[in-house]
Structures are given as C-alpha cells and as structure tokens.
Amino acid sequence: MTLGYPGRMLTLSLLLTGCSQEPGVWLDEDVWSAFDPVQVCAQDRWGEETCGLEPVVRDPRGAPVLVKPLTLDGETYAWHAPDGWPEGELVIEADADLIFETIPFTAPLRGAEAPFDASALDGARFLLIEPPWFEPDGARVIFQEAGRLSLEFLEVTGSEARFRVLSEKEGRTCEVLTATGDIGEGGALSWSTPLFELPTQPGPTALRDVSLTLHFTPDLQRAAGLSVAGEVDLRHAKAVHQALSEALWRREGRAEGLDPPPEDALCAGLPMWGVTCLPCPDGEAACVHAAGHAGVLEPVPNDAPGAALPVCEPVLEEVMAPWACSGVPGPRSCGSTRAPAGLLVALLGALLARRRR
C-alpha cells in the first residue's frame, strides 16, 4: 500500500496476508528517494522472517528494472536500482517458499527537470528529520541516540564541497567530523575515507571504509537518499566495558552467586541482535559492520555559518557505565537481551553525540 504526498512518498510496511503467523511477503522499508534500496521480506508459517529476497521490479510499462544487491558481511540484505527507480507506479514481484506476492509502490519524483546550482549550498545547513534504517536493524537507534544531527556546508567550489556534521544534545553542539566531498551535476553529494578516528577516551575509535551519499532536490528544500556505511572498531569500548562489568560483578554479582562475566562480554552478547564482532585488519575480533539507507534532511536557518565549535570527544567509561553487566545469569546478566542492544546503541550513539566535559 502506498501513500503519496507532495515531495514525499511513503511505502507502508504491510504484511499482505493479515495474520502474523501466516506466510507472506512484504516490502519492509520506506522509500524516500529514487536512489533508496528496497528490502523484501518473507515470513513462513512458523513465524520465521527472511529479508533480502531478490525482487523482480517492473516499471509502469511492465518492463523489468535492473536491480543489484546490497551486501553486508557476505549476506544480501536489500536491492537497489543503480540508475535510480523510474518515476511512477512500480510493481515488485517476490517469490518465497512457493508464495507469490505482488507489491505496488510509487517511486518518488527525481526533480531532475530543474538545473542544480551547487554554489547555493554554500553556508547552508540541513537537519536530519528521518534517520536511516540500518542493517543490522539494531544500529538504527544510533541516530536517535545521537541527538539532533545536521549537515553544514562550509565552502562549495565547483564540484567540491567542504562540510561538517554537527551533533546537538542537552544544549551542547559539537563537531562529529569535517570533510570534503564531491557534488555531482544532479545534486548528489558523495564522500568516503579509508579511515576516520573519533577522539574517544581513553583511546580513539576507528571507523574504516566509511562512506556517505546524499541527493539534493534542485530547490534545496530536501535532501534524501542518505546512505552511510562503515566498520566500527570496538577494541577500546570492549576493554572499558569488560573492566566495568568485572568491577560490577565484584560489587554485586559475586555476592548474589553469579558467575563472573565471560571474557569479551561485549562481543559475547551482540550476536543475539544480529551483530557479530569480526576480525579487524590486525586480526583482533573487535569490529562490527553497519550500513544505513533512506535518511532525509531538510534545510534549517543557519545564523552563524562556520562558527567555531568543539570537537565531539566521548568518554567511553561514561558511555559504557549504564550497560555494564554483573555476571551470569542475573537481571543485568552478561548476554541478556537488555545489555547487547544497549551497548551498541549507547556506544555508537554517544560517539556521535557527546563531548568531553
């Protein structure tokens, strides 16, 4: 089912067969830009869900649309049209466990008829109003926990744009990063780097193979199709979390008869949320991968473009303290459903949002 609004399109995540325990196929994520991917999911009669199914997409004339997979850690989780979805009513056909469903949805207008003037971005600021959806799903809370995130353009020269990402939370604003990206003639901003280090304490948090893409409308009244991806190195977060958990066990868990936290308690709990600590470039199993899509930004007033701001410098002990685990088992058990989700959310969200006091 699709609802259309001027300048905005929403695809409802609707299970077509009605009952949650009946087999069905559905489109799981909203599409705001012609360059957003789609995620087709299926549910079998036992309630097990599988996403990332390969769709057959047909344009308004019935012709097939070329789609290519998006993968994370070797698994396909969504599909996209490399050249963007054609405008108009499209149909997605999906086949899962011998259940065939046809899902109509509307591709958003590209707005490509009007010329795009990149120089108009100079000094502009855009606020994130619709955070990306993420693979793995638990990482989507990153942007909710990071406060008000915005993108400010410091200088635009030709096809180059110098910009910074800002985080505002609890009345404080700080810089997450400052970088220079490329602006295409059609209004696409792209930036990537093999390594970016967040100045966390007591040691930096490395983000590797980081990429960002975003598409502006010609009138600059919307920026959609925000995609971000990268690898997060959790080694310092792991060490801090382990020390806090062991200290909590000595204070509380031991007296309650709990076993001490396992080695590497942080990574031990993440798999139940679909997150796995993988080997970093040096071989240590401390890295997680995430990819987000379909974020939306809108322009906001910028009274002081380029104003001096502090750099975000999160203190990992402050980030991890609420999520330390007290042993096995227990109400704050290492590996409980509360701890792993909170750890990933708290760490990545706070990395973007806090600065050292």
Q: What is the mean pLDDT of each run of 10 residues along the chain (357 residues)?
A: 30 32 70 88 80 89 94 92 88 74 73 75 94 79 71 95 93 92 91 93 93 92 92 93 91 85 84 83 93 94 93 87 73 52 50 42
Confidence at residue 96, expressed as pLDDT on a 0 to 100 scale: 66
**Beta bridge partners of residue 88, listed in sequence order:** 107
Per-residue model confidence (pLDDT) at position 7 = 33
Which pLDDT belongs to residue 265?
A: 87
- DSSP-based helix, strand, coil % in the chain, nearest 5: 20, 45, 40
Dihedral sign for Cα 12, 17, 23, 24, please: negative
Distance CA 27, CA 11 (A): 8
SS3 236: helix
pLDDT of residue 185: 83
Please report the pLDDT score of residue 16 as a whole number: 31
Which pLDDT belongs to residue 110?
Answer: 60
Calpha distance 181→212 (Å, rounded): 9
How much is the pLDDT for 95?
75
Distances (CA, A) of 276 to 36, 136, 145, 241, 280: 25, 10, 21, 16, 12
